[in-house]
Amino acid sequence: MDLAPDAGQAGRRWAARLAAVSIWLLPLLAIDPTTYLVLTVAGLAMGMLLFLTAAGLTVIFGLMDVLNLAHGAFFAWGAYAGFAVLNALNGLGWVETGTLGQGILSVLLALLAALAIGGVLGLFLERVIIQRVYGDHLKQILITMGASMVLAEVIKVLWSPNNQTVLVPLSFTGSYDIMDVVINKFRVVAIVVGLAVYAGVMAVMQKTKLGIIIRAGVENREVVQTLGYNINRIFTGVFMAGAALAAVGGSMWGIFREQITPAMGDENLIFALIVVIIGGMGSVTGSFLGACMVGLAFNYVAYLVPKLALGANILIMVVILFIKPWGLMGREQ
Amino acid sequence: MTGREPTPVQMERLHQRSRRFTRPGFLIQLALLACLIAGPLVMPSFRVMDLVAKIMIFAVAVASFDIILGYTGIISFAHGMFFGLGAYSVALICHYSQPVQYHHLLLAGVLAALISTVVAVVISALSLRVKAIFFAMVTLAVAEFCHILGYQWSSLTKGEDGVSFKLPGVFSADWSGGALWGTQINGRLLVYYLILVVCALLFVGLVRFVRSPVGRVLKAIRDNEQRATALGYRVFRYRVLSTVFGSLVSSLCGALFAMWLSYVNPDTVLGTPLMLNILLMVIIGGLGTVYGGILGAAFIKIAETWLPDLQKLALSLFPKMELMHRLAERWILLFGILYILSVLFFPKGVVGTLRDQAEARRLRRLGRP
């Protein structure tokens, strides 16, 4: 008798999951299957790149209780850093005319540059500005908004306010054609990198001591502090890591789109915020799911009604806020 | 209540009430109002009139933002969006109705108020339930969506080109009614006075709102949410009310702004720069002061009109340095740094700091350290 309700609950949960998955098959009614597959791959690739930004945002919020609106700026800075490196390497003839090895190496160098610049900017922002406003949400939001504006403006000063075209190695452009399903090569790279980062973050969080400390910090900061861990140093480290991830995401986005603008940070921040709200503040897995949802929905709707693509994502956010005000994986505080 | 002795709080309030027409603050307000009324007649310069009209509009918009941010402690990034909704209501109705008549303006005002109320209720009902920072995030997303919509829904909004339109009758730019004491009475001047009247009324309304019982509850919620809840106030409802009220005023300001320019485009009335300007003005003027809006708006708008001169100066001082030119071009960068510094080191703004000093002086006079 007392097993029955449990079984019923589990059944309901599976039914809900099945329904959640099958919603994503709905666009098939309006899109033919080949296009649908192409869009799905594009959506997943976009989701993975969004996840790179959202992961940092959500962990920073969960651990440090800081809503970092300057996170989008790291994304843009990463893109510009990658762009600058690729431009410089093109001077050596590595990018547009180089061999496969040179192409791969130059992309790796671009990503590394983005990683470095993200980390440095994150360190600077956390130490100089955010540390002064811990515990005050209002000031945090105001000040990170200002920081985001300043960082975007500095991009305009250093490069230009206009769009820039990113040079991409030949080996990364073009696409595979599997039974009429055209798959852009770089999308595959994006999906692989995104999955790897997700696996890496989860492994660090679940298996390492650092992960245990971070998870404990999300639960209760003071207790971690009383146990003798320097929570400030951990905050700085997590902030840097989050910023670096966002920057790598930005640089990949730049290579993927082959075009960058100073405003890309703001656009990405909007998506990342939607992802984090959907997934639940502080949850990495939630962000991963949210990012996939947002990426897929954006691509399906952009194909059907281009103007409403962002609107569809806001609609999903609204629906989720209705059903679960704390997001898919968020915990009530 | 009639037979009872008045409580000390009531005594204090009665005392304040009896002196309200002789306070220096009231006299300053009267003087300011007189200057605004006489200004265009005494000094007929279009540049000054343009500046003053924009300052008035933004002073009210910033004061209404202060209701949300300073008095309720909620960050709304959609304030610029509501401004834009109001502006687009006027622009689109005046643009598409031929010929334009007076009642179209009224209709546009009502439409702006209605749309902004509905949108504000929906957004706040959704996100204020959970946590105030959700509101910041949701409004950011919705505002961006509206900005994009302004660009892309070009069959209605004409996209990037924006909408230009004519105002009806005596408000139209080509109407002229002769001269009075050497000043041309024309459509622009009448729009100026219309803006003056509406802004003054809205501002008085905002001040009354803050001083009303509702305003006191809002301050109580901002300062200590749990205690306000324990006292039996429905925190959620008050927050929604204040957000809706602030957004409504903002949309009316946007309507006035559109009337002044006779032109709107997505970047000037819906974009992030507008929102950042409002944020900067409210921070410089002082959070939770309402009057700070006037100072903040005046400061930024005057700075904006001076900046081109500053750029020319920078160009002549450093004729060879490319980087300096680019820095001078990006004045938002300077504003941004100013903004961060004032949030960090000058969090009460001009009016807040002055008030603190006045309060300290009063306490010293009373003999309490």
pLDDT, tens only, A34-86: 888 888 888 899 999 899 889 989 888 887 888 888 999 999 999 999 999 98
**Per residue in B137-146, pLDDT tens?**
888 888 888 8
Report the alpha-carbon distance of residue B357 to residue B342 in Å, rounded.
18
**Per residue in A137-185, pLDDT tens?**
888 888 998 899 899 989 988 888 888 888 877 777 777 777 777 777 7
Of B133, B327, B340, the CB nearest to A157: B327
pLDDT band at A6 (very low <50, low <70, confident <90, very high): low
- What's the mean pLDDT in A181-201? 85
- Is pLDDT at A2 greater than 50 in this prediction? no
CB A309 within 8 A of CB B152: no
pLDDT band at A332 (very low <50, low <70, confident <90, very high): low
Tell me which of A93-97, A290-294, A314-318 is least confident: A93-97
Cβ contacts of A141 on chain B, cutoff 8 Å = 75, 133, 136
Domains for chain B: give ranges and CATH numbers.
45-304 (1.10.3470)
- Cβ <8 Å between A270 and B323: no
User: Where would I find the beta strands (DSSP E) of chain B?
Assistant: 163-164, 176-180, 183-186, 263-264
Q: Determine the pLDDT at residue A303.
A: 87
- Cβ <8 Å between B133 and A322: no
Of A67, A147, A154, the CB nearest to B340: A147
For residues A215 and B93, the model is more confident at B93
- Cβ <8 Å between B145 and A326: no
Q: Determine the pLDDT at residue B304.
A: 83
Report the alpha-carbon distance of residue B187 to residue B176 in Å, rounded.
6
Work out the burial of residue B208: count CB atoms within 10 Å of its CB; fewer than 13 is exposed, 13-18 middle, 19 or more buried. Answer: exposed
- What's the mean pLDDT in A19-24? 75
- Is pLDDT at A3 greater than 50 in this prediction? no
**Per residue in B38-51, pLDDT tens?**
777 777 777 888 88
Domain extent listing, chain A:
45-264
Q: Determine the pLDDT at residue A288.
A: 92
**Distance in Å, alpha carbon of A88 to nearest chain B alpha carbon:** 20
Cβ contacts of B133 on chain A, cutoff 8 Å = 67, 137, 141
Q: Which of A310, A320, A323 to mutate to test the interface with B (most CBs of B within 10 A)?
A: A310
Alpha helices in chain A (DSSP H): 4-23, 33-64, 71-91, 100-128, 137-158, 185-207, 209-219, 221-226, 231-257, 264-279, 284-304, 309-323
- Is pLDDT at A1 greater than 70 in this prediction? no
Report the alpha-carbon distance of residue B81 to residue B100 in Å, rounded.
25
Within a 13 Å sphere around the CA of A42, how many CA atoms are in the beta-carbon half? Answer: 20
Report the alpha-carbon distance of residue B178 to residue B180 in Å, rounded.
7
Report the alpha-carbon distance of residue B204 to residue B185 in Å, rounded.
27
Pair of tokens at residue B70: 């300073």
Chain A, chain B: beta-carbon pairs less than 8 Å apart: 99
DSSP state of B6: P
Of A141, A142, A311, the CB nearest to B145: A311
Report the alpha-carbon distance of residue A241 to residue A197 in Å, rounded.
12
**Distance in Å, alpha carbon of A93 to nearest chain B alpha carbon:** 28
User: What SS3 class is residue A226?
Assistant: helix
Within a 13 Å sphere around the CA of B95, how many CA atoms are in the beta-carbon half? Answer: 19
Q: Within its chain, how far is the Cα of B314 from the centroid?
A: 31
Q: Determine the pLDDT at residue B222.
A: 86
Of B130, B148, B339, the CB nearest to A325: B130
User: Which residue(s) pair with B176 in the sheet?
Assistant: B186
Closest Cα partner for B142 from B114, B123, B156? B123
- Is pLDDT at A4 greater than 70 in this prediction? no
- Cβ <8 Å between A325 and B75: no
Cβ contacts of A130 on chain B, cutoff 8 Å = none
Amino acid (1-letter code) at residue A139: K
**Distance in Å, alpha carbon of B113 to nearest chain A alpha carbon:** 23
| Per-residue model confidence as pLDDT tens for chain B (369 residues) | 456 777 888 887 788 777 777 777 778 888 888 888 777 777 777 788 888 999 999 999 999 999 998 888 888 888 999 999 999 998 888 888 877 778 888 888 899 999 999 999 998 888 787 666 788 888 888 888 888 888 888 777 787 788 888 877 777 777 776 666 666 777 788 888 889 999 999 999 999 999 899 999 998 988 888 898 899 998 889 999 999 999 999 999 999 999 898 888 888 888 788 888 898 899 888 888 888 889 999 988 888 888 777 777 777 777 666 666 676 677 778 888 888 888 888 888 888 888 888 888 888 887 755
Report the alpha-carbon distance of residue B81 to residue B78 in Å, rounded.
5
CB B63 within 8 A of CB B201: no
Tell me which of A113-127, A224-238, B151-165, B211-225 is least confident: B151-165
- Cβ <8 Å between B333 and A321: no
Of B136, B336, B347, the CB nearest to A67: B136
Q: Determine the pLDDT at residue B250.
A: 94
**Distance in Å, alpha carbon of B141 to nearest chain A alpha carbon:** 5
Report the alpha-carbon distance of residue B205 to residue B50 in Å, rounded.
24
